[in-house]
Structure 1
Amino acid sequence: MENIYQNTNFQLSKNPRNEECPSSSDSGDHTVWKRVLVALSLLLLCALGGLCVLGALYWNKRVAFEALSEDYSRAQEQLSVQQNSLNGNRTCSLCEERWMFFGFKCYYFSTDKLNWTMSRDYCTGKGGHLVTVTSKEEQDFVSSHAQVTRWIGLNDLETEGQWMWVNNKSLSETGVKFWFKRESDSDGEPDNWKEMDFSGENCGALGHESGYIDKWFDDSCQNLKEYICEK
């Protein structure tokens, strides 16, 4: 009987139904956490999507604002051309003596000659800067009054080949270029010629000693030229 009793206990202890099973509460906790993680993931995706939409809206508004600013500037210059024509091209009284009015700005065409750096500093001292050409109307105006080659506010002193205006705007930002192009040379200006200055030609000028006053040339910043200020 003792043997039969022991065998019976042994079989009961080996019965799989007597092994401990995971509780239903533990399984429920795992399910809740999975749902929480899924919900958080969906919220994160929605937040990222919202940021992308806001970024796209901001970029579109910025591009539209810049385009509107350029159109406004051109409209001002065209209005100034009409005003000058009506007034017989007389200088506006808002400009100082020897300064010419155009596009709601005043321009000074020097009679003395300085190098590019000294020209820049002179214009700054007068409350302006070397002229920055941002439209064909402005290019036509300054070239029609220049008569001789003059310094303008264009240079690539900081990075060779990256031409910047004195107001730190690049040519791609202003959107206009009037470099001189030779028929025999597809590249033309700027050519960074180093025969006269080993450091190259790093400053922009309106016209050349040989003429072409309506085009831009790069030249040695040490050369003496007349210049154009703007304010």
Structure 2
Amino acid sequence: MENIYQNTNFQLSKNPRNEECPSSADAGKHNVQSMRDRRPTCTTEMLKCSLAALSLLLFCALGGLCVLGVLYETLSEDYSRALERLSVQQNNTNETERKYEELKADHSRVEGLLSQCNEKCQECPLLEEKWMSFGVKSYYFSTKLLDWEMSRDDCTKKGGHLVIITSNEEQDFLSSKSGDLRWIGLNDLETEGQWMWVNNQSLAETGVSFWHKRPNSLDEPDNWKVEDSSGENCAVLGSEYSSWNDVSCRKKKKYICEK
């Protein structure tokens, strides 16, 4: 029996291939070693991924810095140009203000001169628009053509009125100076045939009249209505015959003012 027991122990202590079986402690060490061999591989891959991500972030950050740099340069140039334009506009504004002040000063000087001239013209009315003296009156012979009413109003603006003829001497003087048919201050606009001066004095009251006489036809005034159906209601001085004619008030003619 003892021999059998000894043989059995011998056989159990040997594996079929005559190899020694590892103990449980050796097996545990082997498993730990296997885990240690596998762990470094995973850690390396994570490190590589982290480095790649960090590199990408750094690249993006660098690109952003480049873009910001370009924008800064562009904005700096725009700001500089804006400052230059603002400076030019400010200079233009200052120049405009300076010229405006000069114009105001010139305007004030001109107003002063005009005021002085007006005072002198009031003292010497004959210097105003080539007024011509005769007796106690002064006369203005127009160069522009107006109808009778506009002529009357223009004489009023000049401080006078359409001429009122009250003597043979005055009639001869005006006829010698007129040179053209000219409006005088005589009309029968209100009542046909009742001729009135612009001062509301009737022709009969002045005591003189110089209507043109025709030997073989109607004398003036004849109130001819061929050209104007309303008739001829305003008087002109005719230089050719030194007499008066009645004509349509709508015609444009030169005129004589007096004051």
SS, match of residue 212 in structure 1: coil
Q: Does 1:106 align with 2:106?
A: no
* Cα shift readout 1:131-190 (whole Å, capped 9, x = no counterpart): 0000001001110100010000000000000000001111111000100010102x4000
Give distance in 1, aligned partners of 2:146 and 2:185.
Answer: 13
Q: Is residue 217 from structure 1 mapped to residue 227 from structure 2 by the alignment?
A: no
Please name the residue that 1:88 is paired with.
none
Q: Out of 211-220 and 158-167, give the one that drifted further.
A: 211-220
Q: Give the whole-Å Cα distance in 1 for the aligned partners of 2:136 and 2:125.
A: 9
Q: 1:190 aligns with which of 186, 211, 221?
A: 221
Distance 2:241 2:181 in 1: 6
Task: Report the counterpart of residue 121 of structure 1 in structure 2.
Answer: 153
Q: Which position in structure 1 is the counterpart of 2:257? A: 229
Q: What displacement does 1:213 show? A: 4.8
Q: 2:166: which partner in 1?
A: 134
Q: Which amino acid aligns with 2:210?
A: F
State the match for 2:204 in structure 1: 172
Q: What is the CA distance between 1:95 and its match in structure 2? A: 1.4
State the alpha-carbon separation in 2 of the partners of residues 109 and 126 from structure 1: 12
Normalised to the residue count of structure 2, the TM-score between the two structures is 0.51
Matches within 5 A, 1:1-231: 95-96=126-127, 97-185=129-217, 187-207=218-238, 212-231=240-259
Shift of 1:212: 2.5
| Equivalence for 1:78 | none
Is contact 2:212-2:241 (8 Å) kept? no
More helix by share: 2
Secondary structure in 1 aligned to 2:150? helix
Aligned residues: 135
Q: What do the CA deviations read for 1:93-119 (whole angstroms, capped 9, x no partner)?
A: 651341000111110000110000000
Q: Which runs of 5+ in 1 are unaligned?
A: 1-92
- 1:189 partner SS: coil
Instruction: Write the letter of the residue equivalent to 2:251.
Output: N
**Separation in structure 2 between the aligned mates of residue 221 and residue 127 of structure 1, nearest angstrom:** 22
Query: Residue deviations 1:61-110, cap 9 Å, x none?
Result: xxxxxxxxxxxxxxxxxxxxxxxxxxxxxxxx651341000111110000
Distance 1:198 1:115 in 2: 17
> Looking at CA atoms only, which structure, 1 or 2, has the larger radius of gyration?
2
1:5 maps to: none
SS in 1 for 2:220: coil
For the residues of structure 2 that align with 1:129 and 1:181, how far apart are their CA atoms?
27
- Where has structure 1 moved over 3 Å in runs of 4 or more? none
User: Please, what is the CA RMSD of the aligned residues?
Assistant: 1.2
Q: Provide structure 2 residue ranges, at least 5 long, that are not aligned to the other structure.
A: 1-123
Q: Match of 2:227, SS?
A: coil
CA contact (8 A) 1:180 1:188 kept: yes
Contact 1:156 1:164 in 2 (8 A): yes
More strand by share: 1
